[in-house]
Amino acid sequence: MNVFVVNCGSSSLKYQLINTDTEEVIAKGICERIGIDGKLKHKPTGKEELVKEVAMPEHKTAVSYVLEALTDEVAGVISDLSEIDAVGHRIVHGGEKFASSVIITDEVLRAIEECNDLAPLHNPANLIGVVACKELMPNVPMVGVFDTAFHQTMPQKAYMYGLAYEYYENYKIRKYGFHGTSHSFVSKRLIEILGKTGQSSKVIICHLGNGASITAVQDGKSVDTSMGFTPLDGLIMGTRTGSIDPAVVQYIADKKGYTIDQVMNVLNKESGVDGLSGVSSDFRDLDDASEAGNERAILALDMFAYRAAQYIGGYVAAMNGVDAIAFTAGIGENDGKIRAKICQYLGYLGITLDEEANKARGKEAVITTEDSRVPVYAIPTNEELAIARETVALVL
């Protein structure tokens, strides 16, 4: 089967066409600057990249250019659109309504719309992508795969905040968690590596990318995660603060004369390792700067690792043990220095790093010694493949 995987943002649309029998990517690409001017970068596997600067006033035009590129005489990979068997859409927020992926019917579309309030920057854009694809491929089944769904198994004691209960009842304020597709994909793989599929298992997944979150997965189910009502909570990230005393919001607003929106912008976009270091949000730059002795870069990396280790410790306690830990996403898969820094805090678990093995980059590897009581792995995530697999499972 060929599954078209779509990740639609407010001004961009990323896509992959995946042959789910071989799990190979047939083509992938991105439309950028939708609604501004418009640029398509289309990369067919084994062929030359196609770059097209064309007006994309709205998402439907962008999708139509992608479909044109997929069937193009030179850069195309399929002869016509009937070779697309299904479309899998990444949807950020499914609220409490969606605990798993779904076939998108009109009724489902309305139910997703009702979650828009919870992710006002992301969900409406995701839905625009769904509508555009439905219009251009009316007979192709569409599936929605939610970032929040995997975490719907968290027990209430984990997802509730210490706010009066009415805020949960009336406004659904609770921890939802994100990166669920990645946490699900990597935890499944880790449990498979451990040979514990179908048995009881306790694993911790550290998804460390520009956005970062850690999840405790017991018996294959998310039981706690570090992101919360929004992706701002938890770990210190590229540009996000992670957990912070909420009273700081009012204090900054008073001191700087900012509106709440302006303070939220500071917390989301001007903070994290970027704001702390004044160097960059990219860990490659931070590693270089810290090696050159930049004290604020060293501090930012120390804080990042310290916070991550605190979450890991919290989740070992939550599950009363851990069988294995995995690092994934841009930083987790590639940055051995940060992995080592985090593991330095985990000696109490009997974890001993294998420095040579920890040089692994972008590939699956065990990074601890054979006698490490708890093995630690680097496992590449693949959210597009996960979406394609979910889509096939529903439409077959």
Residues in contact with ligand ADP, counted by CB under 6 A, come to a total of 13
Q: Where are the alpha helices (DSSP H) in 220-294?
A: 247-256, 260-269, 272-277, 283-291
Q: Is 234 one of the binding residues for ligand ADP (CB under 6 A)? A: no
How far is it, in rounded angstroms, from Cα 215 to Cα 180?
A: 9
CB closer to ligand ADP, 216 vs 338: 338
**Shortest distance in whole angstroms from residue 325 CB to ligand ADP:** 18
Q: Is 44 one of the binding residues for ligand ADP (CB under 6 A)? A: no
**Shortest distance in whole angstroms from residue 301 CB to ligand ADP:** 11
Secondary structure letter of residue 65 according to DSSP: H
Grouping H, G, I as helix, E, B as strand and the rest as coil, residue 389 is: helix
Grouping H, G, I as helix, E, B as strand and the rest as coil, residue 236 is: coil
How far is it, in rounded angstroms, from Cα 88 to Cα 137?
A: 13
- Which range, of 35-43, 156-164, 206-214, 299-307, touches ligand ADP by CB under 6 A? 206-214
**Shortest distance in whole angstroms from residue 65 CB to ligand ADP:** 24
Q: Is 331 one of the binding residues for ligand ADP (CB under 6 A)? A: yes
| Among residues 210, 243, 294, 369, the one that binds ligand ADP under rule CB under 6 A | 210
Q: Rounded to a whole number, what is the distance in angstroms from the first to the last CA of the chain?
A: 9
Q: Is 330 one of the binding residues for ligand ADP (CB under 6 A)? A: yes
| Among residues 147, 323, 335, 390, the one that binds ligand ADP under rule CB under 6 A | 335
CB closer to ligand ADP, 211 vs 375: 211
State phi, psi for 345 to the nearest 5 degrees. -85, -5
- Report CA 368 to chain centroid distance, whole Å: 25
CA dihedral 145, 148, 149, 155 (to 10 degrees): 180
- Which range, of 61-69, 97-105, 115-123, 325-333, touches ligand ADP by CB under 6 A? 325-333
How far is it, in rounded angstroms, from Cα 184 to Cα 150?
A: 6
Q: Is 211 one of the binding residues for ligand ADP (CB under 6 A)? A: yes
How far is it, in rounded angstroms, from Cα 229 to Cα 119?
A: 9
**Shortest distance in whole angstroms from residue 280 CB to ligand ADP:** 8
How far is it, in rounded angstroms, from Cα 60 to Cα 30?
A: 14
**Shortest distance in whole angstroms from residue 255 CB to ligand ADP:** 30
CB closer to ligand ADP, 152 vs 381: 381
The mark string for 80-119 relative to ligand ADP (x by CB under 6 A, - otherwise) is: ----------------------------------------
Q: Is the Cβ–Cβ distance between 324 and 349 less than 8 Å?
A: no
Q: Where in the sequence numbering do the catalytic residues fall?
A: 147
The mark string for 274-313 relative to ligand ADP (x by CB under 6 A, - otherwise) is: -------xxxx-----------------------------
How far is it, in rounded angstroms, from Cα 90 to Cα 5?
A: 8
**Shortest distance in whole angstroms from residue 287 CB to ligand ADP:** 6
CA dihedral 273, 275, 280, 281 (to 10 degrees): 50
- Which range, of 61-69, 185-193, 306-314, 323-331, touches ligand ADP by CB under 6 A? 323-331
Q: Is the Cβ–Cβ distance between 25 and 43 less than 8 Å?
A: no
- Which range, of 115-123, 157-165, 324-332, 365-373, touches ligand ADP by CB under 6 A? 324-332
Surface-to-core class of residue 151, CB atoms within 10 Å of its CB (0-12 exposed, 13-18 middle, 19+ buried): buried
The helix (H) or strand (E) run that includes residue 87 is: strand 86-91
**Shortest distance in whole angstroms from residue 211 CB to ligand ADP:** 4
With residues binned 3-state (H G I as helix, E B as strand, rest as coil), the percentages for the chain, rounded to 5, are 40, 20, 40
CB closer to ligand ADP, 142 vs 227: 227
Binding site for ligand ADP (CB under 6 A): 209-211, 238, 281-284, 329-331, 334-335
